[in-house]
């Protein structure tokens, strides 16, 4: 497909929308982006491995495909949602605003092909974040919304009309039965957010867990902005304890396999090993000698040196294996480094 074709332009715009908040923040900070960017001077990164890319989107900017049997997934190449068709209506899992009205278009298309109802009767929230459920209000009031109890609390305080609070909540477990289909929702502790839920489709060999593991890609900036880093590091083990063949991660244009998740777990373990090695190797003395009473400058430069030491070999190992290893490995290493120091107390010393 040529770079100028409509679908590519649309999906490019959708991706741009997802990152629109970033320049505003950089401008406020008075950074380099205060001057308009020029494509000629922006840095180059390694090419994305073809295996990390999913199917092309259609003229409307979406792709819809079968996961297994009557379970389908929809993507705009940046975000993902899923839906189950049943004899009594459709159960939708997440409603990313970037896919927006294409969610119903995708459902209409599949329902027409299979002669089943196209009305969304239930909408399950993976977690409260606007980028995954900000299209919820498009489905009106005549739909049963289901989410973890903390999703309801967070959404009530965030008070965003685009994200109505769930009607049905659960604390640790909920079984959803619709039109002869069964879906198991579970909460196994905080990870990416306090409310992030495991969505298991026992009849479809599939697990949906959003913003933890993004198949064939490194995590988004700063380890997916995970609120609980140890919880997010532990989540893939919990995910692997479920029986599944297909994985829906909520991002990027492809599904995952168990082998993909094992590669991701090794990547995170390699970062942890690198951080522990770096903390025992990089000498903080010169940084504090140089910056004296400016302890922030000393800390910044010392931790940057730790990150560089720890992430360098990981970037080298995963280039060509995980997409964008050279883009975000350093910021994820910083997030994991701070968790190892602050949550685990590694390298912490009591003054004699
Ligand atoms: Zn999120």
Q: Report CA(192)–ligand 1 centroid distance (Å).
A: 7
- Return the exposure string of 312-344: e unless at least 16 CB atoms fall within 10 Å of the residue's CB, then b: eebbebbbeebbbbbbbbbbbbbbbbebbbeee
Residue 7: pLDDT band (50, 70, 90) is very low
pLDDT at residue 286 greater than cutoff 50: yes
174 or 6, greater pLDDT: 174
Q: Report CA(132)–ligand 1 centroid distance (Å).
A: 7
Residue 33 confidence (pLDDT): 56
pLDDT at residue 166 greater than cutoff 90: yes
**Average pLDDT of the chain, as a whole number:** 91
**Least confident window among 28-37, 88-97, 228-237, 291-300:** 28-37
Share of the chain above pLDDT 90, in %: 85
Residue 348: pLDDT band (50, 70, 90) is confident
**Least confident window among 36-50, 77-91, 142-156, 169-183:** 36-50
Q: Report CA(248)–ligand 1 centroid distance (Å).
A: 14
For 28-44, what is each residue's pLDDT tens digit? 444 555 678 889 999 99
Q: Report CA(89)–ligand 1 centroid distance (Å).
A: 27
Residue 36 confidence (pLDDT): 84
Summarize the confidence of residues 303-307 as an average pLDDT: 97
Residue 207 confidence (pLDDT): 98
Summarize the confidence of residues 77-90 as an average pLDDT: 97
Q: Report CA(193)–ligand 1 centroid distance (Å).
A: 7
pLDDT at residue 162 greater than cutoff 60: yes
Q: Report CA(35)–ligand 1 centroid distance (Å).
A: 30
pLDDT at residue 1 greater than cutoff 90: no
Residue 19 confidence (pLDDT): 42
For 263-279, what is each residue's pLDDT tens digit? 999 999 999 999 999 99
Residue 347 confidence (pLDDT): 80
For 101-126, what is each residue's pLDDT tens digit? 999 999 999 999 999 999 999 999 99
Ligand 1 ion local residues (Cβ < 5 A): 129, 211
Summarize the confidence of residues 41-65 as an average pLDDT: 95
pLDDT at residue 144 greater than cutoff 60: yes
Q: Report CA(282)–ligand 1 centroid distance (Å).
A: 33
Q: Report CA(21)–ligand 1 centroid distance (Å).
A: 15
Summarize the confidence of residues 143-171 as an average pLDDT: 98
pLDDT at residue 8 greater than cutoff 50: no
3-class secondary structure for the chain? CCCCCHHHHHHHHHHHHHCCHHHHHHHHCCCHHHCCCCCCCCCCCCCCCHHHCCCCCCCCCCEEEEEECCEEEEECCCEEEEEEEECCEEEEECCCCCCCCHHHHHHHHHHHHHCCCCCEEEEECCCCCHHHHCCHHHHCCCCEEEEEHHHHHHHHHHCCCCCCCCCEEECCEEEEEECCEEEEEECCCCCCCCCCCEEEECCCCEEECCCCCCCCECCCHHHHCCCCHHHHHHHHHHHHCCCCCEEECCECCCCECHHHHHHHHHHHHHHHHHHHHHHHHCCCHHHHHHHCCCHHHHHHHHHHHHHHHHHHHHHHHHCCCCECHHHHHHHHHHHHHHHHHHCCCCCCCCCC
* Nearest Cα to Cα of residue 94 among 8, 4, 84, 257: 84
């Amino acid at each position: 497909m040529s770079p100028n074709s409509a679908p590519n332009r649309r999906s490019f715009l959708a991706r741009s929308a997802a990152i629109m908040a970033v320049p505003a923040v950089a401008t406020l900070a008075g950074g380099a982006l205060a001057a308009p960017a020029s494509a000629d001077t922006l840095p180059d990164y390694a090419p994305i491995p073809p295996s990390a890319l999913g199917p092309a989107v259609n003229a409307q900017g979406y792709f819809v495909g079968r996961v297994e049997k009557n379970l389908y997934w929809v993507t705009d190449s940046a975000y993902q949602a899923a839906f189950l068709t049943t004899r009594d209506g459709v159960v939708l899992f997440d409603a990313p605003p970037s896919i927006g009205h294409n969610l119903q278009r995708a459902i209409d298309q599949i329902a027409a092909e299979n002669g089943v109802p196209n009305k969304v009767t239930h909408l399950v929230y993976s977690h409260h974040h606007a980028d995954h459920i900000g299209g919820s209000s498009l489905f009106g009031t005549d739909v049963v919304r289901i989410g973890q109890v903390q999703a309801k609390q967070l959404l009530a305080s965030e008070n965003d009309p685009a994200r109505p609070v769930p009607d049905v909540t659960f604390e640790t477990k909920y079984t959803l039965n619709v039109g002869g289909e069964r879906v198991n929702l579970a909460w196994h502790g905080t990870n990416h957010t306090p409310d992030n839920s495991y969505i298991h489709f026992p009849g479809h060999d599939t697990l949906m867990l959003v913003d933890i593991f993004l198949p064939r890609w490194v995590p988004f900036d700063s380890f997916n902005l995970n609120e609980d880093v140890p919880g997010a590091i532990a989540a893939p083990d919990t995910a692997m304890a479920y029986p599944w063949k297909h994985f829906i991660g909520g991002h990027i244009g492809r599904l995952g396999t168990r082998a993909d998740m094992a590669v991701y777990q090794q990547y995170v373990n390699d970062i942890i090993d690198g951080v522990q090695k770096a903390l025992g190797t990089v000498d903080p003395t010169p940084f504090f000698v140089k910056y004296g009473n400016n302890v922030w400058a000393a800390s910044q430069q010392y931790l940057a040196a730790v990150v560089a030491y720890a992430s360098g070999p990981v970037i080298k190992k995963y280039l060509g294996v995980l997409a964008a290893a050279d883009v975000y490995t350093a910021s994820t290493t910083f997030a994991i480094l701070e968790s190892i120091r602050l949550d685990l107390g590694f390298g912490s010393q009591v003054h004699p």
